[in-house]
């Protein structure tokens, strides 16, 4: 089949859904690739780059929509593009099925298949196709860069001859993919970073990245903050009030606030109120990543940057991924390429739209002249519960004592049996071997016993350092073997050579392991 990517017509959109690199991978799946001329120009990919990758370049969008069996794009189609969509054609793009219900119905009526990239289920197997996460990662990074561009001071603290510069304080509200990207960028720039989220499981992730997690003094704090699918759920009114109270407490101290709280198919919750903005210091910056859905800040204006009367800059851009078009296009095209890999399991260029597949079914919103949105929840394999153990029967003191005596007798019997067998073997050896052998043999048996007891008592974490100590013992073994290697007995010579070989392995291995262990504590 032929996969086509038109030039994005949404104003200001610079991304492209197919790159020369992804086109090469798609061709390995048996597909032919076609792009509209200039489709990747603003993302840094020329028509010559596409032609070099074996991609056909057509002059008009109409020609592309007519030629392609599958159309992959970034933004949802407009009215003109919807007219060009035809029966048995597959469209892969962001679509917003809730907001664009009429377009979804129109596509289904035509008999076209529509795959909405934002509907990819958030399950482990689908992470490689999760375009929302890919774009959120870029948006979180870009938000910090944008904040720094509008912030009048350093992120990191400095002590100079001209005076001391305090580090910036950054608060990230929401620790999803975008929030964690913002946290990582902020801490790497040297800012003191704080983060808040309603999901308790992200606290450890936040702290592992060098930020401080903001906890609430609330009895039911973050008990129901997570929902299925990896997103935050709607908080209770009581929790919201405690949350806003904490933000009011933090607002005067923060230099930069980055808000990322957004639940799919809902308006963005208002988390940063007008009075919080007024309490912030002049020169502070707010970057609202939820501006497209109304914004987390009360004063956010979508697609604009405003400065309040008290000197706070509020950035409400909705095109952060597009501002890093080359990187965004590469990641998004890779997401689509992975989706096409699942849609083309035989790598024969033929689409197999398997509606029994959780990922494909979850992302498909129109297929076979039917609207298939909303999808059923993904099937999660049930984990077989381990059979419950029967409750231990409560024993009386007499019964416990009887069990202990029986266990002691059994243990003693085993030990006596082993000692008897060992004694018999030693006696047998003494009857048929020279006295000199018995002296060495007894020393050997005692050394094995003592060595076993010593090693058995060493904790597992100390086994690696112990390798270095055994090097000394191995060197003694080598010296002894070297003395015996000139023996007239072939057996003794063989054993001496074998002993040198084994001890050498232990020595070299011990030094190698010790060196690697020490390298762990050395600064690069």
**How far is it, in rounded angstroms, from Cα 332 to Cα 323?**
14
Please calculate the CA angle 22-25-29 and round it to the nearest 5 degrees. Answer: 135
pLDDT per position as a tens digit, 340-369: 999 999 999 999 999 999 999 999 999 999
pLDDT value of position 464: 56
Whether the upstream peptide bond of residue 37 has omega within 30° of 0, thus cis, is: no
Q: Crossing angle for the helix pair 131-150 and 325-343, nearest 10 degrees?
A: 170
**How far is it, in rounded angstroms, from Cα 55 to Cα 37?**
11
Is the pLDDT score of 466 beyond 70?
Answer: no
**How far is it, in rounded angstroms, from Cα 173 to Cα 259?**
5
Is the pLDDT score of 381 beyond 60?
Answer: no
Is the pLDDT score of 384 beyond 60?
Answer: no
Is the pLDDT score of 291 beyond 50?
Answer: yes
pLDDT value of position 432: 78
Contact between 70 and 92 under an 8 Å Cβ cutoff? The reply is yes
- Banded model confidence at residue 456, pLDDT cuts 50, 70, 90: low
**How far is it, in rounded angstroms, from Cα 319 to Cα 328?**
11
**How much is the average pLDDT of 456-465?**
58
Contact between 187 and 144 under an 8 Å Cβ cutoff? The reply is no
**DSSP symbol at 522:** S
Token pair for residue 146?
């944008």
For the ranges 140-149, 322-331, 410-419, the lowest mean pLDDT is seen at 410-419
Q: Crossing angle for the helix pair 20-28 and 325-343, nearest 10 degrees?
A: 10
pLDDT value of position 177: 93
**How much is the average pLDDT of 92-117?**
94
* pTM greater than the 0.75 cutoff: no
pLDDT per position as a tens digit, 242-282: 999 999 999 999 999 999 998 766 789 999 999 999 999 99
In this structure, are strands 256-259 and 285-288 parallel, antiparallel, or unpaired? parallel
In sign, the C-alpha dihedral spanning 36, 39, 40, 46 is positive
Could you tell me how far CA 181 lies from the centroid of its own chain? 11
The upper half-sphere exposure of residue 196, i.e. CA atoms within 13 Å in the direction of its Cβ, equals 20
- Banded model confidence at residue 407, pLDDT cuts 50, 70, 90: confident
Q: Which residues are known catalytic residues?
A: 122, 127, 130, 133, 231
Helices (H) and strands (E) counted in the chain, each on its own, are 16, 17
Token pair for residue 80?
């003109």
Helices (H), 319-364: 325-343, 358-363
pLDDT value of position 489: 83
Order of strands, sheet of 113-116, starting from the edge strand that comes earlier in the sequence: 56-58, 32-36, 2-5, 70-72, 90-93, 113-116, 364-367, 370-371
């Amino acid at each position: 089949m032929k996969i086509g990517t038109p030039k994005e017509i949404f104003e200001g959109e610079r991304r492209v859904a197919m790159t020369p690199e992804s086109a090469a991978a798609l061709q390995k799946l048996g597909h032919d690739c076609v792009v509209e001329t200039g489709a990747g120009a603003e993302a840094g990919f020329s028509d010559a780059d596409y032609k070099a990758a074996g991609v056909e370049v057509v002059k008009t969008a109409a020609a592309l929509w007519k030629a392609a069996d599958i159309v992959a794009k970034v933004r949802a189609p407009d009215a003109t593009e919807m007219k060009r969509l035809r029966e048995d054609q597959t469209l892969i793009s962001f679509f917003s099925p809730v907001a664009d219900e009429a377009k979804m119905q129109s596509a289904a009526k035509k008999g076209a298949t529509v795959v909405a990239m934002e509907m990819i289920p958030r399950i482990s197997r689908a992470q490689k196709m999760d375009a929302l996460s890919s774009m959120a990662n870029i948006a979180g990074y870009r938000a910090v860069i944008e904040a720094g561009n509008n912030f009048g001071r350093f992120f990191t603290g400095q002590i100079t001859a001209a005076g001391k510069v305090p580090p910036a304080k950054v608060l990230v509200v929401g620790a999803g993919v975008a929030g964690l990207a913002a946290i990582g960028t902020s801490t790497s720039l040297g800012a003191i970073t704080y983060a808040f989220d309603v999901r308790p499981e992200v606290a450890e992730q936040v702290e592992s990245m060098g930020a401080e997690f903001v906890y609430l003094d609330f009895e039911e704090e973050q008990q129901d903050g997570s929902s299925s699918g990896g997103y935050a759920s709607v908080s209770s009114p009581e929790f919201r009030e405690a949350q806003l109270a904490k933000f009011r407490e933090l607002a005067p101290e923060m230099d930069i606030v980055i808000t990322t709280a957004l639940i799919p198919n809902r308006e963005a919750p208002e988390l940063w109120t007008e009075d919080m903005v007024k309490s912030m210091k002049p020169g502070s910056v707010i970057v609202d990543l939820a501006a497209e859905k109304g914004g987390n800040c009360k004063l956010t204006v979508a697609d604009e940057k405003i400065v309040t009367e008290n000197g706070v800059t509020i950035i409400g851009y909705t095109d952060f991924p597009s501002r890093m078009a080359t990187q965004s296009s590469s990641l998004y095209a890779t997401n689509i390429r992975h989706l096409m890999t699942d849609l083309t399991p035989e790598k024969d260029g033929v689409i197999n739209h398997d509606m029994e597949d959780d990922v494909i079914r979850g992302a498909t919103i129109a297929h076979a002249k039917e609207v298939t949105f909303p999808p059923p929840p993904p099937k999660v394999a049930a984990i077989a519960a381990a059979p419950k153990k029967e409750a231990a029967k409560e024993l009386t003191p007499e019964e416990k004592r009887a069990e202990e005596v029986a266990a002691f007798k059994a243990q003693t019997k085993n030990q006596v049996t082993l000692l008897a067998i060992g004694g018999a073997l030693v006696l047998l050896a003494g009857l048929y071997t020279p006295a000199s052998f018995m002296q060495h043999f007894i020393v050997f048996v005692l050394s094995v016993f003592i060595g076993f007891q010593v090693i058995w008592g060493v904790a597992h974490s100390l086994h690696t350092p112990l390798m270095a100590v055994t090097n000394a013992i191995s060197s003694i073994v080598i010296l002894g073997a070297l003395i015996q290697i000139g023996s007239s007995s072939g057996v003794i010579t063989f054993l001496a050579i074998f002993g040198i070989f084994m001890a050498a392995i232990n020595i070299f291995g011990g030094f190698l392991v010790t060196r690697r262990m020490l390298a762990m504590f050395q600064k690069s």
